[in-house]
Structure 1
Amino acid sequence: MSHWLPASPCTPPGCAVHAGPARRPVPAAALLLAGCALTLAGVLCAPLALSLTGGARRERLVRCWAHAVLRVFGVGVRITGPPAVRGGAAGGRAGTPGVLVVANHVSWLDIPLVAAVCPGRMLAKSDIRRWPVLGPLAALGGTLFVERERLRSLPATVRSLASALHGGARVVVFPEGSTWCGRGPGGRFRPAAFQAAIDAGAAVQPLRIRYLGGPPDHRAPAGAAAFVGDDPLAASLWRVVRAAGLTAEIRVLAPIPAGAVPGRRELARLAQSTVASDSANLPAASVHH
């Protein structure tokens, strides 16, 4: 098993189950069509937006669009914590390094959710490039693709990440390397991307993601959002639009300054513990033993 192919115990039958109120098929189908249409509109309009708007205005546009995508798919959004760290190309001082944004990984919904807070260049597995609608959108947005099956591609990927960060870009990575259902501590943060942050002298911005369902006075982690194991994308899309009352919550955590710890493994452990400690008060225990 290579470092690019970590395993998760989560499976669709065991984890991706919606136990709360459900929408009827017709309203759910309407949400699905609207969500796909808005996503496709983003693909078609991305080249025009990139050519007509400046960096700050483009970032606001991406945040608004990503927020709208979640809402149109029927998912509420809750953002907590202080403003995210801004790198050189994201509104910081010219010539300053970018920021490595890291988060736990639950679902394909994580991508627009993170973009609604701090848009950046994503690191994603090469399979996503072939996804309908989302694949072309990811490529247009400057996604850095990695062939996870080829361990020999790791050094080149780290160099690409470091180059983007050194140029002032904000780069988004899900260092668990696989999705987890969100009802447990999650996976270990892999250290490779953190080496890129060290090489570029970039800060690390941790984020905590979770999806909640149920009544407002008794919110609990929602399995409907989990996109785990061999779950087909179409099945996950349908499960999300059928789930009524689904809320995506993202918390911006304290940034880790460049040079805070000496090595990539120490930096990965610090980022992981920062995200994990924020989940200590989750209302439901892990389903994995």
Structure 2
Amino acid sequence: MTTTAADPAGPYAGEGLWRPASGCGPDCLPPPVAPDVSRLRRAGRLLGVLGMLLAGAGVAVLLPLLPLLPAARGRAASRGWARWTLRTLGVRLLVRGRTPRGRALLVANHVSWLDILAVLAVSPTRMVAKCEVRSWPLVGALAAAAGTVFVDRSRPRDLPATVARVAGALRSGRSVAVFPEGTTWCGAATGCRPSRGFRPAMFEAAVAAGAPVVPLSLAYRYAGDPSTLPAFLGAETLWASVRRVLAARDLTVSVTVGAALHPAEGADRRVLARIAEAAVHSTPRSVLADRLDLAA
């Protein structure tokens, strides 16, 4: 894939990957309430999570150094780490549908930093993340050690190379997970949605590698009801979002695994992105048909 100064993202120019916006803000979050758990328990959760992050970094570093370790055990270790980290945070995980097996491009809606743990708890995978994550304390080092593909949204000319890296990982038999909305939103059923929906660029990697696309739908409940409490929005700091989760009792994340999509050789990544988006957001069949007619 080549690029030019006039067309910095090459064949992906104009797809709006680099400056996504959700329109969500502080008003999308629930009003502040008294913590559900004691200060001592919140401190215990925080210390436990820090310990899990350190352990995760160790796992990410050691697994590649153990070539004789069966791949299934390595995947089980990664999945177990993510599930225990969620449990340490006091978050219950529910999984619906068949767990993906083998290589796939996993695509999901994006609500919270918890999404990463939820995806890893379902299927160990390499993640695609914005480059700012690399600077997050502990989390950035863990992400880098785990082989995260970082995207620099300030350099659109790097996009073809990033897509090629994802395609290479898929060809090697690895799964890769991406949040094609490009930003987080509140997750409310009738709330804001990211502008322009799923960005199609990363779907080209699945087409090029001949890999299936597996839609994942993430939803959060607090005390049994749908909630935006875990959302990580706009100018909010990571610490503010983490504190809200640490203080919550009875928080649940559900991951619904959709049927795999198998793109044909030369498939249109834009149409594939629309189909995957419809699967993630459970768009009615009639609406899906209308969208596909328009895309054609």
- What is the match of residue 78 of structure 1? 94
SS in 2 for 1:240: helix
Q: Unmatched 5+ residue regions in structure 2?
A: 1-13, 286-296
- Whether the 8 Å CA contact 2:99–2:123 is kept in 1: the answer is no
Closer/same/farther in 2, CA of residues 278 and 261 from structure 1, 3 Å limit:
farther
1:28 maps to which of 42, 59, 62: 42
**Is 2:230 the counterpart of 1:221?**
no
In structure 2, C-alpha distance between the alignment counterparts of 1:103 and 1:31, rounded to whole Å = 27
1:191 maps to which of 186, 200, 213: 200
In structure 2, C-alpha distance between the alignment counterparts of 1:248 and 1:202, rounded to whole Å = 27
1:163 maps to which of 147, 160, 168: 168
Number of residue pairs the alignment of both structures matches: 265
- What is the match of residue 148 of structure 2? 143
**Is 2:216 the counterpart of 1:211?**
no
1:64 maps to which of 80, 88, 92: 80
**Is 2:114 the counterpart of 1:109?**
yes
- Amino acid in the other structure paired with 2:144: A
**Normalising to structure 1: TM-score of the pair?**
0.86
Closer/same/farther in 2, CA of residues 260 and 279 from structure 1, 3 Å limit:
farther
How far the C-alpha of 1:172 sits from its partner, in A, is 0.5
Q: Name the stretch that deviates more: 177-186 or 72-81.
A: 177-186
1:51 maps to which of 65, 68, 89: 65
**Normalising to structure 2: TM-score of the pair?**
0.84
In structure 2, C-alpha distance between the alignment counterparts of 1:178 and 1:16, rounded to whole Å = 20
- What is the match of residue 210 of structure 2? 201
- Whether the 8 Å CA contact 2:30–2:229 is kept in 1: the answer is yes
In structure 1, C-alpha distance between the alignment counterparts of 2:228 and 2:42, rounded to whole Å = 17
- What is the match of residue 6 of structure 2? none
Q: Unmatched 5+ residue regions in structure 1?
A: 88-98, 281-289
SS in 2 for 1:224: coil
Closer/same/farther in 2, CA of residues 33 and 13 from structure 1, 3 Å limit:
farther
How far the C-alpha of 1:113 sits from its partner, in A, is 0.7
How far the C-alpha of 1:45 sits from its partner, in A, is 3.7
SS in 2 for 1:110: helix
**Is 2:282 the counterpart of 1:266?**
no
- Whether the 8 Å CA contact 1:18–1:223 is kept in 2: the answer is no
In structure 1, C-alpha distance between the alignment counterparts of 2:211 and 2:162, rounded to whole Å = 16
In structure 2, C-alpha distance between the alignment counterparts of 1:250 and 1:51, rounded to whole Å = 31
Q: For residues 47-69 of structure 1, what are the alpha-carbon distances to aligned partners after superposition, in whole Å with 9 as ceiling and x for unaligned? A: 22332333211000000110000
**Is 2:238 the counterpart of 1:233?**
yes
How far the C-alpha of 1:13 sits from its partner, in A, is 4.3
How far the C-alpha of 1:86 sits from its partner, in A, is 1.8
In structure 2, C-alpha distance between the alignment counterparts of 1:278 and 1:41, rounded to whole Å = 40
- Amino acid in the other structure paired with 1:82: R
Overall identity of the aligned pairs, in %: 43
In structure 2, C-alpha distance between the alignment counterparts of 1:80 and 1:19, rounded to whole Å = 31
How far the C-alpha of 1:184 sits from its partner, in A, is 3.2
How far the C-alpha of 1:165 sits from its partner, in A, is 1.2
- Whether the 8 Å CA contact 2:129–2:150 is kept in 1: the answer is yes
